[in-house]
Amino acid sequence: MAVLNCQEIKHRIRDEQDYDKKLLVTPVLCEDQIGPASVDIRLGSSIVVSRKTYVAALDVTKQQTEPEVEKRLYERIRLRYFKPFVLHPNEVILAGMFEYLSLPDDLFATVASKSSWGRLGLVIATASIVQPGFRGSLTLELCNLGESPITLYPGLLIGQLVFYDVKGPRGERYGGKYSCPTEAEPPSFAGTSADEEMAFWREGPRQV
């Protein structure tokens, strides 16, 4: 596995014509966004904040209640560009990435904070792996671990993507729960195999 450098990233973005094989990060607003071995990403305008009022606890193993819990627990908010919003200490929000990402089958990516923000205590991603074949705007988990509130604006460069070659024959494309998301998405634990897995751990082995 090798990390793509600047030239390789530009080549994969620019020269491949087939959208299924192309690396796509769009829009890149300036070429400076592409660093020596990464692409800087910006904060988008869609965020999800949690409402703690109505839900005693979130038991993700109970699938049938998930859509209802999503409505009760999360609020989708759209931010305006050029207007501030404040992330308070210990607050966690979900925020959509400004760019739209499309990974071909032979690349996977990781997301990391920009170091300056990290030093302020801002963590932008805890689930930082992006699978080959993913298409969409990533949902970042923003958390202020610092002591002071942090003012943010949609469009600010807050993170970076690092791309890696995936060895071996091309596998299946990403077919996960989040299909072409363009906004911040609340968590979803749905899916047949996930349902069975959750049920096992909630109910224990079934008697035959």
Partner 1 sequence: MPAADVEETAVLKKCLVLLAKMSGRLAQIDRAQFPTDESEAARGLLALGIDNLRTASAQFKPSPYALYRQLLVIQQLLDDVESSSIDYIAWPVVSYINEIWSKLFAGKPHQVFFTRWAEYNYGIYNFTEALGRALEGLIPSGSLAVPADTAIYCLRLASIEVDNIPLYANIGHELGHVLFHLRSKEVTAIWGRYSESLAGLILAKLTDNAKQADLFALPTRLQKIRMILDSLVEELTADMVGTLLMGPSFFLSLQEVSWSSTTRDVWTARMFVKPGFASAYPGFNFRLGLVSSTAGVQEAFKDVEREYARLDPSMRMGFPDLGGTSSWADGNDRIEVMPESDVDQRVLQRVLNECLPEAKKAFEGFAREVLELLAGDVGLPEASAEVVSRNIAQLLVRLAHGIPPNIVPSNAPGKELLGIPAEFSDILQAASLYRMSLLAGPSFKADESGARKLSEIEGLVRKGLEVSYIQRTYPPRDAAEGSGDGSSELPGD
Q: Which residues bind partner 1 (CB under 8 A)?
A: 10, 13-14, 16-17, 19-20, 22, 24-32, 34, 45, 78, 80-81, 83, 98-100, 102, 135, 137, 155, 179-183
Strands (E), 18-132: 24-26, 39-50, 74-78, 85-87, 92-97, 100-102, 107-113, 122-123, 129-130
* Pairing mode, strands 139-144 and 74-78: unpaired
Tell me how far, at minimum, the Cβ of 5 lies from partner 1, in Å.
15
Tell me how far, at minimum, the Cβ of 98 lies from partner 1, in Å.
7
Query: Annotated active-site positions, please?
Result: 141
Tell me how far, at minimum, the Cβ of 26 lies from partner 1, in Å.
4
- State which residue, 86 or 127, has the beta carbon closest to partner 1: 86
Q: Alpha-carbon distance 128 to 4, whole Å?
A: 17
The sign of the dihedral angle between the CA atoms of 19, 21, 27, 29 is: negative
- State which residue, 13 or 55, has the beta carbon closest to partner 1: 13
- State which residue, 99 or 141, has the beta carbon closest to partner 1: 99
